[in-house]
Structure 1
């Protein structure tokens, strides 16, 4: 299925429309939130955001919005499930990170070990801490020159599952930050042959399946549970996301587990603004085939112009040499800046400072521009700004300075190390000790060391070079410069 054929009228946004109608009424609000939609009492907030967001900011459990049988929220969830081809969909207000934590918590009832792609988002590692699951990591393919990770092959997944008969589930990431799409159908077949569900972090592919020129979505290819970061390319507000459950062999087992984990992780004061934006984003995507086509064309115009100018290279043009990559996201434009004589970090900094152009991510070697599925990215402006960048090294290719380090050996489970007594020591003194933290060069937020793994000299050197780079940042570090690291305290442990 290249394009969903939902059963209901996708032109409606029932929850968003109901919230909008509620906000138009003359309410005396003697409840939370405390601004009471009063522009005089909250004049600074009204000036900052406008009066409309204040009126739309209604609390949960309101008759005619999310209470009643049926109600607009239930209908909005059903529309989303049909649009993505799911048995059931949950709206998340704590991002796709919440979806990954839910998935990991739900998996704990199915086994003891999560077979998981090493280059997962750090929120999956948070889920390991919360669930107590052991982790068996599958290493993705890596472009050593660019220092970026892609995906895993069905054969590698099958091998990992064969080695871990206590597996609860398989958890993979596709597409990657750079737009590389894995063989989800093959991965699903490998997981199902081993008797476990396939969880897909499709955070960057929420738009997949809504146009013939886009890859099919993970549900359509056999995934059992899919995390969808709807705000990324589909256009809902930041921090909003969805979680989709397939109507497959594992649905009856997973659904109650997911529902319990959802209640554990979702705010009891979920934002009506975020929820309504999810409803509208689904409506826009499901009915916006022409607008999606225009965005795909604009992204291709950018790639075509970059190739024509000859200074920079398009990273996805080289994807065919990686066996795990079966397609690429046409709305992602990953650019190798080295051939243009400038690092990715410097390119990003100058694009922002000199041209007011923001790109999604920069590494030492590349930048990634993402095009919203129904947006107008102004290709000429971006291409012009890109090629106006100076070449500090005289147009000579520059080497990638940061290579991804190998993880240290595992000495404790993630949960054991995270909850163990810990202490902070100088980074050099941490070498050979067990990390108590998750540290990740960010973005893209892929963990380089996890709680329970040994700190190595290579990792310490990598972190120091990361923070020394322009805009370099290590998420989870004990201090911004990674001068110190938090390690498990030596001596007997009582967990």
Structure 2
């Protein structure tokens, strides 16, 4: 693992303005007044009338649940929302930041639609999230894929090197932009500076899906964030590890060579995708998360210590192994996210799916991701979980959960050949056929073993027998399913009607 290209973050003092959370504070002040609410939402914060809802989310949440376009919160120029957005941009080192209330998936769709204004081909890391593929459908962009490195033993996709990106761009001089993912679901961090240099040398912007790296840059023991390393557009899933509420995210625009062109395009795409009834709760949680990340370094230190203790205990016990310990074998990985604790469970005689199921069922412990070979536990920025409870439960897992000590691993299948563009296949006449009959046919759907939601089949790609076997074995596992499938058991698949595609 080449750590020389993954700079850490120096200790810094926050600017005085970063001590404020203007939107969250304005929302609290506004809703503390004795309002007679004859507007939406329909519950009107009347917890005595909407008792079931108040019991579910709390009376305070009902009061804070206000609509947009309120004076004193988000209506006037330099409103509290405007100031919160400026503070977020400053915190992440952006020229401009947008708060998103439909997750990083919305950010990926915005970035992809924006890229369509720059050209007709998007160079895309093949292991992008399915929301980027959704963006290809919406935008009509053609995709030229650059393959990530694969840990074939664990069935894990990592990242791409600058050399691999350069080769793909050379083959596609018409490219509008390059789209990569870092960090990966398993915490592998790519060489963003090298990737940005390659994209810029080709005259195009670099878009980074940094969904799992919202916390990067806020502690000296964390990797630097993608904006500071030259990325032009960065999608940040703030709710994942950054401490905001589920479904809240941010999109950042760097003050780089493409900013003047990209800013108005992003703003238009934002209006196209953002709800006109954006949740005040989600927006306030983003403002609060930024405030905490900037100002509470001690809490982040506690989170890092908890994750380090988990990895140390796994190594010391000797039964299981830590996935990131093997990252040095891959030239695309320059660092790892220390808040991700990825564990090879098969080395201890348990499949990842079985381990996740057992931990949930018997110990009431939830982990983020399970594959056939591994689980990933995450420690949120600012949280400090009981790592002893997790380690004790992990090592109490019986080795006879239907998995022999050295079972054949479920390897990540290769995608089939591309026969149509994503958009063409998605909107083409289609039909549902038995899985066995789908072999050799063109998929009309995006199919992704979930989690982590990385597409294994795209609309326009040929479905292979290897892929069907992979999906069916995934759905047979206690916690596995396939996003986008026509049915939960993968008995049928949706394919392009042969009569519509000669």
TM-score by length of 2: 0.96
* Residue 396 (structure 1) shift: 6.1
Q: Structure 2: how far apart are the matches of 1:248 and 1:100?
A: 19
* Residue 48 (structure 1) shift: 1.3
The answer to whether 1:483 aligns with 2:494 is no
Deviation sequence 1:130-159 (CA, Å, 0-9, x none): 000000001100111110100000000000
Alignment match, 1:193: 201
Q: Structure 2: how far apart are the matches of 1:70 and 1:198?
A: 30
The answer to whether 1:451 aligns with 2:466 is no
Q: Structure 1: how far apart are the matches of 2:241 and 2:300?
A: 11
The answer to whether 1:222 aligns with 2:248 is no
RMSD (Å), alpha carbons: 1.4
* Residue 109 (structure 1) shift: 0.7
1:152-171 aligned within 5 A = 152-171=160-179
Q: Structure 2: how far apart are the matches of 1:309 and 1:7?
A: 44
- Is the Cα–Cα contact under 8 Å of residues 239 and 248 in structure 2 kept in the other structure? yes
Alignment match, 1:416: 424
* Residue 6 (structure 1) shift: 5.5
- Is the Cα–Cα contact under 8 Å of residues 342 and 398 in structure 1 kept in the other structure? no
Q: Structure 2: how far apart are the matches of 1:313 and 1:492?
A: 50
* Residue 399 (structure 1) shift: 3.0
- Is the Cα–Cα contact under 8 Å of residues 399 and 405 in structure 2 kept in the other structure? no
The answer to whether 1:466 aligns with 2:474 is yes
Alignment match, 2:435: 427
Alignment match, 1:257: 265
* Residue 164 (structure 1) shift: 0.4
1:62-461 aligned within 5 A = 62-392=70-400, 397-461=405-469
Q: Structure 2: how far apart are the matches of 1:87 and 1:231?
A: 21
Alignment match, 2:3: none
Q: Structure 1: how far apart are the matches of 2:404 and 2:465?
A: 31
Gaps of 5+ in 2: 1-7
* Residue 400 (structure 1) shift: 4.6
Deviation sequence 1:20-76 (CA, Å, 0-9, x none): 111111111001000000012211101111110000000000001001121100000
- Is the Cα–Cα contact under 8 Å of residues 178 and 206 in structure 2 kept in the other structure? yes
In structure 2, do the counterparts of structure 1 residues 64 and 466 end up closer, same or farther at CA, with 3 Å as the change threshold? same
Q: Structure 2: how far apart are the matches of 1:46 and 1:373?
A: 29
- Is the Cα–Cα contact under 8 Å of residues 6 and 82 in structure 1 kept in the other structure? no
- Is the Cα–Cα contact under 8 Å of residues 341 and 395 in structure 1 kept in the other structure? yes
- Is the Cα–Cα contact under 8 Å of residues 151 and 325 in structure 1 kept in the other structure? yes
Q: Structure 2: how far apart are the matches of 1:54 and 1:259?
A: 30
- Is the Cα–Cα contact under 8 Å of residues 7 and 82 in structure 1 kept in the other structure? no
- Is the Cα–Cα contact under 8 Å of residues 8 and 79 in structure 1 kept in the other structure? no
Q: Structure 1: how far apart are the matches of 2:64 and 2:495?
A: 46
For the residue of structure 2 that corresponds to 1:277, the secondary structure is helix
The answer to whether 1:45 aligns with 2:63 is no
For the residue of structure 2 that corresponds to 1:449, the secondary structure is coil
* Residue 414 (structure 1) shift: 0.3
Q: Structure 1: how far apart are the matches of 2:287 and 2:343?
A: 33
For the residue of structure 2 that corresponds to 1:369, the secondary structure is strand
Q: Structure 1: how far apart are the matches of 2:431 and 2:48?
A: 50
* Residue 338 (structure 1) shift: 1.1
Gaps of 5+ in 1: none
* Residue 455 (structure 1) shift: 1.2
